[in-house]
Structure 1
Amino acid sequence: MGTMSDDERSFFSEAPIRPPAKASAIEEKPHYLGHRDRLRERFASAGPDALPDYELLELLLFRLIPRADTKPVAKALLARFGTLAEVLGAPVGLLQEVKGIGPAVALDLKVVAATAQRMARSEILGRELLSSWTQVLDYCRSAMAFEQREQFRILFLDKKNALIADEVQQVGTVDHTPVYPREVVKRALELSATAIILVHNHPSGDPTPSRADIEMTKEIIDAGKRLGISVHDHIIIGKKGYSSMKGLLLI
């Protein structure tokens, strides 16, 4: 092995020895932790109405995403889907397309949506529905407004018009659901229902009844009449509202 040159010896002899950097005794907390505390305090003191949708969504995401700033994620979700209801109604696959939303968080958001639907359903279960119409509409919207395929739902009522069962009978495509009047009436008889409310959604967002919707409803009405089953209404749910065939004097 050759000898070290003068330049190399000079370099090593003159290199200062630096002591290792001391670790900070107290690590600086992430900036979003203080924001989380302040937001929780506002919610506790002023209530949910004092918070805009993105901040309410932030509060929810605090638990689902514990180690990140959730404000950009909340705003991105609302920018993508439009409203808080549409965020919770979005399918898991589309939720995951938003930066910051992984499979676990997307699934947790759907659990929250399912819980909200169950709460809305509990408001009408066993109640006289014709006097609780607002709650009926709220439930139907939470359950169906943001589905990507058509669903045909039936609310089965007893002789006092109380809800005894709520079932999705058919799931179709984006613009069509096959409905069989005989099967509708058969199921009503099985449940000892004396009246029904028909509900289906339009994924396009426009709740205007189509000619096919009207004709199908009249067929169910005729089939039910022969067996003592009344059709109180057929409600069509869209993202921005609903239509009542009875209210439109179509049935």
Structure 2
Amino acid sequence: MGHAGGRRPADPKPHWQGHRERLRGKLLKRGAGALEDYDVLEVILMAFIPRRNVKPIAKALMTRFGSLSGVLAAPSTDLVKIDGIGETVDAYLKAIAELQSRASREEIRKRPAISSWSALMSYVRKELQHEGREQFRALFLDRKNQLIADEVLGHGTVDHAPVYPREIARRALELQASSLILVHNHPSGDTTPSRADIDMTREIINVLYPLGITVHDHLIAGTGGVTSFRTAGLILP
């Protein structure tokens, strides 16, 4: 049977398009703070994947990686295994992760790092809590305790990152750093300092002390949080 005027009725909208419009409306009217974590992820995916239902993709990402921070820290090789995530979307998610990292770094560059403790701890946790290999870094500070550089000084297996105290001393002198904060992660998630961590820290302090370079703290990051050697009484004032 024909239709009046010979025109066919418009195809109905896909069900997910209405969901997108409702989510977008909620974002615009109530702000991003009103959205759940998976909603925020959906909004981001909506921009990158315009013609597909992204809700199952967002749910799959959250199930696989556990949290927004887990999604942003996930290796590309794992991300692209999720149906709907290709190289382009992976690249966009990596750009968002880098944006987050740079914004956090700005917060500790603006003010003395040791007086911006909450910003520093947040930065360290974001950078390292989901790192799959043990990584050793140093935050080099100037005389005002402001950040000069955050540098990766060693990678290791899941339980060991080789650290060379004299290399740290050489780099501190090159940067004209007056002090530094040591940082590494425990991929196991348990941030309790090991005997090797304690001995290594003491060795680094002993090498830097004659050079007039202070070690303010050693921070261990993991999914369980961040442990401070100074707070734990392992570095004396």
Aligned runs of 1:147-226 on 2, under 5 Å?
147-226=131-210
**Aligned counterparts of 2:212 and 2:198: Cα–Cα separation in 1:** 21
Aligned runs of 1:88-103 on 2, under 5 Å?
88-103=72-87
- Give the deviation of 1:216 after TM superposition: 0.4
Measured on the aligned residues, the alpha-carbon RMSD in Å equals: 1.5
Structure 2 stretches lacking a partner, 5+ long = none
**Aligned counterparts of 1:210 and 1:24: Cα–Cα separation in 2:** 72
Question: Does the 8 Å contact 1:126/1:164 carry over to 2?
Answer: no
Letter in 1 for 2:48: L
Which has the larger Rg?
1
- Give the deviation of 1:25 after TM superposition: 4.4
- Give the deviation of 1:72 after TM superposition: 0.9
Partner of 2:116: 132
| 3-state secondary structure, aligned to 1:124 | helix
- Give the deviation of 1:222 after TM superposition: 0.7
Answering whether residue 68 of structure 2 is matched by residue 84 of structure 1, we say: yes
Letter in 1 for 2:231: G
Partner of 1:7: none
> Which of 4, 7, 23 matches 1:39?
23
**Aligned counterparts of 1:240 and 1:115: Cα–Cα separation in 2:** 24
> Which of 56, 66, 82 matches 2:50?
66
Structure 1 stretches lacking a partner, 5+ long = 1-17
Partner of 2:99: 115
TM-score (norm 2): 0.93
TM-score (norm 1): 0.88
Aligned length: 232
**Aligned counterparts of 1:168 and 1:117: Cα–Cα separation in 2:** 14
